[in-house]
Amino acid sequence: RGLCSSSSSSSSSTGSSGLELRSLQQSPKGRNHQWVFLGCPGVGKGTYASRLSGLIGVPHIATGDLVRDELASSGPLSSQLAEIVSQGQLVPDEIIIDLLSKRLEAGGPKGETGFILDGFPRTVRQAEILEGVTDIDLVVNLKLRAEALLAKCLGRRICSQCGGNYNIASIDIKSENGQPGMYMAPLLPPPQCASKLITRSDDTEEVVMERLRIYNKLTKPVEDFYRQRGKLLEFDLPGGIPESWPKLLQALKLGDNDDKRSAAA
């Protein structure tokens, strides 16, 4: 059983949460794509969600980024959040829903009606709340061989100046016992970022292992939640960006041609 292997499904009773996600467009007419990206830490959700967001013209909203922005703002929540995040635990639903609602509200005046969510929902309860306020079109479940996940998290680097995301891990899994090999090249920073790289404080081996454990326990059941609703698209990443990106576009029927937007409709 791998780090990110499947687990049994969980029941999904719709409890009254008392929570609401404000300002989501209710009507499927005239709105843009509302997609969710699921996948273990290190799988590359941020990379692919952000590339796709540029392509289909909707914002990439990562709840992990919202949490880190809140942490950096030194607001009233930051010390509570710092402790939770540094241990790889999940932030309480109420806080996450509040951060996400505010982000969605801020997009309203800019005319944002769609999104690619990355890092939300992370529990069945969060999925139920989201399903209660809008009809998600598609959930992409990104999967990567377990051997690569930890290395990908440990190799992650961010430019402290421009915010660019890079990865110094070079993954070369040799073929063995009939299993094919896999190569993932590092995503190195340009020279102007190279001296300004920082590592996320929760990307240590101990915390990543805990985040993977929590993913399997609390987020894996979210896959079943969407599978049962016919919304889940499974996508096995075949390697690094050069191999994976065109295949992902194909799987999403976005094709690699000039007609990307209409193909996405």
Ligand X SMILES: Nc1ncnc2c1ncn2[C@@H]1O[C@H](COP(=O)(O)OP(=O)(O)O)[C@@H](O)[C@H]1O
Q: For tokens 């299993």, what's the residue?
A: 179
- For position 136 contacting ligand X by CB under 6 A, the verdict is no
Number of other CB atoms surrounding residue 117 within 10 Å: 24
Q: Which residue is nearest to ligand X (CB)?
A: 64
- For position 248 contacting ligand X by CB under 6 A, the verdict is no
Closest CA to 153 of 215, 95, 99: 215
- For position 41 contacting ligand X by CB under 6 A, the verdict is yes
**Cα dist from 164 to 2, 138, 139, 195, whole Å:** 30, 27, 25, 13
Helix 45-56 and helix 241-251: axis angle, to 10°? 50
Rounded least distance, CB 211 to ligand X, Å: 4
Q: Cβ neighbours of residue 167 under 8 Å, at least 6 residues apart?
A: 152, 155, 156, 157, 186, 187
Rounded least distance, CB 26 to ligand X, Å: 22
Question: Is 145 a catalytic site residue?
Answer: no
Rounded least distance, CB 133 to ligand X, Å: 15
- For position 104 contacting ligand X by CB under 6 A, the verdict is no
Which is it for strands 138-143 and 115-118: parallel, antiparallel or unpaired? unpaired
- For position 146 contacting ligand X by CB under 6 A, the verdict is no
- For position 211 contacting ligand X by CB under 6 A, the verdict is yes
Identify which range of 11-19, 90-98, 138-146, 250-258 contacts ligand X by CB under 6 A: 90-98
| Amino acid, res. 76 | P
**Residues of the shown chain interacting with ligand X in the complex, contacts defined by CB under 6 A:** 41, 63-64, 67, 84-85, 88-91, 96, 119-120, 122, 126, 202, 211
